[in-house]
A and B are shown apart, each in its own frame.
Chain A
Amino acid sequence: MKGLKSRQLPLTIGLILATIFVVLPLGSAAEFSLREPLKNTHGFDNYVWFFEAPDFAKYLGISFGLALASALILLVILVPTVVWLNLGGSKFRGLVEFISLLPLVIPVVALAIGAQTALPDFAQTNEVILAFMYAVLAVPYAYRTMDTGLRSIPLQTIVEAARGLGADWLAVLFKVIIPVIRSTVLSALFMTLALSLGEFTITSLLHWDTFTTWVTTMSQSNILGAIALSVFSLVSVFVLLLVISVFIKPTKSLIISEEN
């Protein structure tokens, strides 16, 4: 057991440092947002100010809606693709991986400008365009998590077994595939939420208003309040994530532990 402890020590230290690194800015921002300089105390004034601001619910709703929409788009597009890749289309894996990485490395600015030129009508008239663009931005991560999740099970074998037992493709999808990627689907959802709440470039360049742009505008008049909101949005995503993580069973490690 002595050996076990010394092995875990670096990990524990690393995790502690990482947690500090993550939490410190978040915590500080939280503290900052709770300041009330006029009254020289701490309180929820800033939050209240924002929650009572006329369009708060409206814009929050918009961003949430967009997040959900883009998550849905991602699922519809990626699930069949990743499933197919793992069921026999593996020759094209390299191509798909390359495509999936492009949004990560291509400047978002370029994308935003281009969207305006390339899809002028759609971009001007329908806010849903944002859902699609957010989805594009999330593709790198969503694809990677989904692919890793599906690769951790012997997919081909299971699907063939299910088919052999008489399941049609729909049943296979719901009974075999979805349970496996349930946790990655949720991860993807949280990601799009974080993205939607933080995305500014495309939104502003395409002249739409979401929670983020609204916060930026409001911040001109109340920087504390704006910070309060940012903190609020980030923390809630985190809390949701942690709560759900507790309830999802992790997918097993690729390297199966040795028999003893």
Chain B
Amino acid sequence: MTGILDLTLVELVGKIKKKDLSSKEVTKTYVERSEKSIKLNTYITEDFKNALQKADNFDNSPNFNKKLPGIPIAVKDLFCTKNLRTTAGSKILENFIPTYESTVTNNIWNEGAILLGKLNCDEFAMGSSNETSFFGNVQSPIGEKLVPGGSSGGSASALAAKLTPATIGTDTGGSIRQPASFTGTVGLKPTYGSCSRYGIVAFASSLDQAGPMARDVKDCALLFGVISSYDNKDSTSVNYKRKDYLRDLSKSIKGKKIGIPKEYRVEGMPKEIEKIWQKGITIAKEAGADIVDVSLPNTNYALPTYYIVAPAEASSNLARYDGVKYGFRAKGKNLIDMYEKTRSKGFGNEVKRRIMIGTYVLSSGYYDAYYLKAQKVRRLIKNDFDEVYKKVDVILTPSTPSSAFKIGEKANDPVSMYLNDIFTVPINLAGLPAISIPAGHDQNGYPLGLQIIGKAFDEQNILNTAYSLEQEIKFKNKINDWWM
């Protein structure tokens, strides 16, 4: 039933609650389409049989007081799902089956949703194109041989290809927003501390955040409301009164002050990016918002800072993958040999690169020059935002410096790959929320995104601004099902 596939998450929820649709119908539709889309390689582990069974169970004794009643959802393979294989896109966890559930996904199941399966991602969330996964790269539904973005590439691809009505990804340097931008979907990276990190395979602890990826802003608002919670099992989780983001979603941005940071105008940026930015500015102006030119002077230092802090934390977080307790273990003649072979064989090249960078910047003699320095620059970057937020409510920028590139195009040039994150990384360093919405197409017909950045814990404001722009832009994703 193609009708089902065209419904947004909010619409699906409405129809199921009204009994216009059964969970079984919806789940079956998504399962069937997913089964026909193996070429995209979005799934690492499917759980279709169980999903259909759970859908049946739901229909037999439905609970319509839930926010996601009987809704099938696939999630990024970075979330530990109880009794279902969780790999983080890595060989080292190829056969790992958690006996526990992450808080974020638990929140989803508690609201009635059903797990479809685990979606492909860059290995340990390290990448911007989903080309580093042990399970092969992900194809973008936008066009053959295009990258979907990363690290939540499988999530973005599955979402855009309509293999799941919505999904959850994680964002450490742009891993939700950049793939959302590349695939013409909406992705929200919430404020650091708003969603629990318990049960999420850790990459960089001070930067990682789970977030919703969906077809439109309303869906994101719904999903964010479900996953955001205070968790006392995560010491960095913040206890604050969460709003009803969907209920309070409003198109009105009259009088809102929107900051345009000049440092985001990068030399050599494609004209189309500038055009889309202007489009957003114009729409906002016409909706009654005040456009304010602002400055975030340390923006250029964000990427180098990120590429010190994130690998440093990752090098330590990934030390537990040693073949002793779980995961892949290579044979070794003694303990050290076993460690070295296990980690050498179990980790891919990008992961090894980042572990090496991280180990180096923390090592004796270099800590002050690199890690400590980076943490100081991070404070400067945050201060920049704090200053700007004295004058504006939200900030508007492009999401990425380009549209989706070809598979293999940047795989051998790490620095070129890292530059993908130039607009998204400062936000993670400052711990702020940001959303990417599709705003137009480039000359090749590939989607381009706009990013709205907000104050800490002020997701409502960025959702509203995004909603306002989205309703004006009326973006239509041009998907021709090329893989079917």
Query: Do A and B originate from a single complex?
Result: no
**Footprint of A on B, CB under 8 Å?**
none
